[in-house]
Structure 1
Amino acid sequence: MTSSELRWTIVVVLLAAVGVVALWPLLKGGPSVPPSGSVNQQFGIGADVASPAPDDVELAPLRREAALAPCPLPALDVPAPPGPLAGVVVPCLGSPGAVDLGPALAGRPVLLNVWASWCAPCREEIPVLSDYADDSGAIAVIGVNVQDRPSDALQLLVDLGARYPSVADPEGDLRAALQAPPILPTSYVVRPDGSLQRVDPPAVFRTPEEIRLTVGRYLASSG
């Protein structure tokens, strides 16, 4: 076991020991708890199975209802910087098409939030992220939906009224680039130069002010 794996194992054990359900373990191949009111037949618990890619025809009605903000597009006058997100192309959850994250996020700070509809702490955090994203001084917020059914993910955003953009990660390429731990939710602050840093220790944001302070701290640090 590597030191990084050992550290995350200790985090999970400590959370369980104190009886605080704040962060949910993410099993290798699917949700540890199926979406509410449904049977988890599509994913094998612990199996090496990727999420389904968004089906544009099937998702069209939900996308119209969700009315998510558009996924980011590259700025013509900003070159794509090197960094972990270079070459990572993922589907946009709220509309047809894919996002090349390196150039799309170049030149500006971004808060990436990794989530799933079956993750109870994610459901609590999404409205807080939405309130923060609506503030005039906020940096861009982009959700990263993982190991989930796109229809369930969109329905949750409809139910919560959250409209900041989200991308899907059906093949796990983005999670691999982020070196994401097996815990949800997880957040990352992306700097304008393409570097990024995971919010560590992991936390569930409770207020927009907590997000503002966290973002400011990580943008001020050099990584």
Structure 2
Amino acid sequence: MSADRGPGRGWLIAAAAVAVLGTIALIWFAVGRTVVPPAEQSAPPPAQPVAERPDCPAPDPGAAAPAGAALAGVRLPCLGADQGGIDLGAALAGAPAVLNFWSPSCAPCREELPVFDAYARAHPEVTVVGVHQAVSAARGAALLRDAGIALPSYHDGADVAGPALGLPRVQPVTVVLDADGAVRAVLPRVFADPGELAAAVAGALG
């Protein structure tokens, strides 16, 4: 009788093993096919809102940059304003202009922004603007808002204007343009007060 039971038990054990392996395979397949609901998937962080800022100088419709203007064809949006694709060569023509290239990560830039703000208020005959050289528009606009800076700035997140002017890779840099948009001075320095800036601009415009 013992000899008759042996093969039967072996068959039962083999069948049980096959059943267990089949169950494991089904579980593995089900886990591999599990789809995470859209609500549970990681979503990109929401874009930071950009603080509202004053409008930047913009040309009249159809206006063109003067011949030889250094920034002709260079188009930038205005930081924190509903203005995109402004042709800087046309926008800054007609009066001398002072451009201050800055970014939030540049400590000397943050220190001298009030100097340019004060100079702009004292010299309405000169167009004074910032050029924000950083990717995050939200961070730049927030810095200006928190510092109480009224000076408008173009947003150059793709680093377009600096190479067009051949500027050195430093910050801050100030560029003086004449009324025809020609470069009269490139000043890679920090200005301590509005009088110092006024003297530099007057000297550049001669």
| Fold shared by both chains (TM-score > 0.5) | yes
Are 2:20 and 1:72 equivalent residues in the alignment? Answer: no
Give the corresponding residue for 2:204. Answer: 218
Please report how far the alpha carbon of residue 132 of structure 1 lies from its aligned counterpart in structure 2 after TM superposition: 1.1
Map residues 1-223 of structure 1 onto 2, 5 A cutoff: 58-60=48-50, 62-63=51-52, 68-75=53-60, 79-82=64-67, 83-98=69-84, 99-137=86-124, 139-200=126-187, 202-220=188-206
Rounded Cα–Cα distance in structure 2 between residues aligned with 1:105 and 1:166: 13
Rounded Cα–Cα distance in structure 2 between residues aligned with 1:169 and 1:137: 24
Please report how far the alpha carbon of residue 164 of structure 1 lies from its aligned counterpart in structure 2 after TM superposition: 1.1
Higher relative contact order (CA 8 A, sep 6+): 1
Q: Secondary structure at the match of 1:127?
A: helix
Q: For 1:197, give the aligned amino acid.
A: R
Q: Which structure shows the bigger proportion of residues in helix conformation?
A: 2
- TM-score of the two chains, using structure 2 as the length reference: 0.71
Rounded Cα–Cα distance in structure 1 between residues aligned with 2:165 and 2:123: 27
Please report how far the alpha carbon of residue 148 of structure 1 lies from its aligned counterpart in structure 2 after TM superposition: 3.7
Please report how far the alpha carbon of residue 136 of structure 1 lies from its aligned counterpart in structure 2 after TM superposition: 4.4
Runs of 4+ in structure 1 off by over 6 angstroms are none
Q: Is the 8 A contact 2:97 2:127 kept in 1?
A: yes
- TM-score of the two chains, using structure 1 as the length reference: 0.65
Q: For 1:81, give the aligned amino acid.
A: P
Q: For 2:180, give the aligned amino acid.
A: D
Q: Is the 8 A contact 2:54 2:81 kept in 1?
A: no
Rounded Cα–Cα distance in structure 2 between residues aligned with 1:58 and 1:138: 36
Q: Secondary structure at the match of 2:200?
A: helix
Q: Say if 1:107 and 1:150 are closer, same or farther in 2 by CA, change over 3 A.
A: same
Bigger radius of gyration: 2
RMSD between superposed Cα atoms in Å: 2.1
Q: Secondary structure at the match of 1:199?
A: strand
Q: Is the 8 A contact 1:85 1:177 kept in 2?
A: yes
Give the corresponding residue for 1:11. Answer: none
Q: Say if 1:185 and 1:146 are closer, same or farther in 2 by CA, change over 3 A.
A: same
Rounded Cα–Cα distance in structure 2 between residues aligned with 1:153 and 1:129: 16
Superposed CA deviations along residues 53-99 of structure 1, whole A, max 9, x for unmatched, are xx9x8535x11xxxx33111214797521222010001110202221
Q: Secondary structure at the match of 2:130?
A: strand
Q: For 2:150, give the aligned amino acid.
A: R
Q: Is the 8 A contact 1:90 1:167 kept in 2?
A: yes
Say how many residue pairs are matched: 159
Please report how far the alpha carbon of residue 197 of structure 1 lies from its aligned counterpart in structure 2 after TM superposition: 3.2
Identity, % of aligned positions: 38
Rounded Cα–Cα distance in structure 1 between residues aligned with 2:91 and 2:174: 18
Q: Is the 8 A contact 1:107 1:193 kept in 2?
A: yes
Q: Is the 8 A contact 1:115 1:143 kept in 2?
A: yes
